[in-house]
Amino acid sequence: MPLFCGGLQLTGHTTQVRQQLPYRRKEESDIQLSKYVGALFPVVNAAYHVLGRSVSQENAFSRSGYHHSSSSIMEDAKLGLRSPESERYSKELDVAVRVVQMACSLCQRVQESLITKGINQVKSKDDDSPVTVADWSVQATVSWMLSECFGSKNVAIVAEEDVQTLSRADSVGLLETVVNTVNECLAEAPKYGLIGPTRALGTSEVLEAISRCNSTGGPTGRYWVLDPVDGTLGFVRGDQYAVALALIEDGEVVVGVLGCPNYPMKKEWLNYHHRYYRIMSKLSSPSSESWDKGCVIYAKRGSGETWMQPLVQENQRLTAKPICVSSIDDPALATFCEPVERANSSHSFTAGLAHSVGLRNQPLRVYSMVKYAAIARGDAEIFMKFAKTGYKEKIWDHAAGILIIQEAGGVVTDAGGRQLDFSKGIYLEGLDRGIIACSGAKLHQKIIRAVDASWDSSNL
């Protein structure tokens, strides 16, 4: 199910994008056809009507499904996508991919200002973890766009950030920067096939968009789960991070989208220090693909497919391609991932475990859910995380990642072999010891057995 943010050669200039993707404003009743070059399945977003669909804006995102014209039914039959089940969550996935593409662009700009200009846009939360302009700005942007696309009454969001720090008297300048960053991003919505606001959002509107992400999840209903910048430490250091957006329905993850702006297209560059990578990417010629980086990876529950597309760039045609996990099942040949920071994970235990299983390769230590992306893309085979006593895993740190691995052919469970339970609120309650993600069942079973054999001596 390749999705295309425009699916055409984007110029980066709004007027030119509008000429290539004609649309009318949402308040108009007749929704125009968008011309998605190479789009292989029918998708609908807030502003467009695709592949002969005949739907009104009011019902375009209704859960009752599409209103087909005869031509669209023929198109579906040709593509083998006529069943209602195959179309389920397609609208949500389409919008989520576009919104994450927007968020990645926002993050790239903020990270560039942090690294090259030395602009201090980092604050500490009550738990001393860092939060940046990008965290709040992405949360506001995603919240506003989802509410516009699906209706604010139909959107519940579980997200990491709140407005407590932004609302302090000493944060006036920070808040102003967030508001400007959000509006700059929303102004680019047509570039991603979406409709932005007719005017710039005010401070109260941005704060409201952030505050609206106050769902606590649970076992019933539908809610989005957002980590606006997963791996904030990596983000502020110019290293790996991810924008993670998932949709959960009745406690099950049904849509997962990971934006990885710094993920190099070639596996070997993951092992280089981020500063070296940045230098080499700037020195390489514009036509060289050797140092290309940035992608969005996405999947839908039950599709058996995970897809990857590059980030939207000027003068570049987007192409999505399916990805799958590695076929390696010999531990001696496998690469395993683990968190960079030791604060919430035991490196010593995973090192001992790796040795006992026969893993010979050095661990791939990367920030954020990029670890999940690495396994889904076949760049690594194992991710192990064993939290220290007292630490509780949060659903936004895993929801999108587990789905893209599962649909790519991998396995993700807790250390007892049980599925992760996303129905208990914002935490992964009842987690047995830790999380194990593998490229296949055979490798997964070997890790599970090794954990059982080594656990009593782990001191965790």
Residue 68 burial by CB count (10 A; 0-12/13-18/19+): exposed, middle or buried? middle
C-alpha to C-alpha distance for 152 and 328, rounded to whole angstroms: 45
Paired with 299 in beta bridges are 256, 306
Whether 227 has a binding-site annotation, put simply, is yes
CB–CB of 323/378 below 8 Å?
Answer: yes
DSSP-assigned letters across all residues of 293-331: EEEEEEEETTS--EEEEEPP-TTEE---EEE-------G
Note if 135 is an active site residue. Answer: yes
Greatest Cα-to-Cα distance within the chain, rounded to the nearest angstrom: 67
Whether 341 has a binding-site annotation, put simply, is no
Closest CA to 13 of 187, 261, 137: 187
Contacts of 353 (CB under 8 A, 6+ apart): 384, 447, 450, 451, 454
Query: Which residue out of 181, 232, 350, 413 is catalytically annotated?
Result: 232
C-alpha to C-alpha distance for 331 and 38, rounded to whole angstroms: 39
Whether 188 has a binding-site annotation, put simply, is no
Whether 160 has a binding-site annotation, put simply, is yes
Helix (H) or strand (E) holding 244: strand 242-249
Neighbours of 65 (CB within 10 A): 13
For 20-29, give one letter per residue: b (16+ CB within 10 A) or e.
Answer: ebebeeeeee
Query: Which residue out of 94, 135, 379, 414 is catalytically annotated?
Result: 135
As given in the structure block, the two tokens for residue 46 are 């807030």
Contacts of 134 (CB under 8 A, 6+ apart): 106, 107, 110, 111, 121, 181, 228, 229, 235
In this structure, is the dihedral angle defined by the CA atoms of residues 269, 270, 273 and 276, taken in order, positive or negative? positive
Binding-site residue numbers are 160, 227, 230, 397
Binding-site residue numbers for Mg(2+) are 160, 227, 230, 397
> So which residues are the catalytic ones?
135, 232
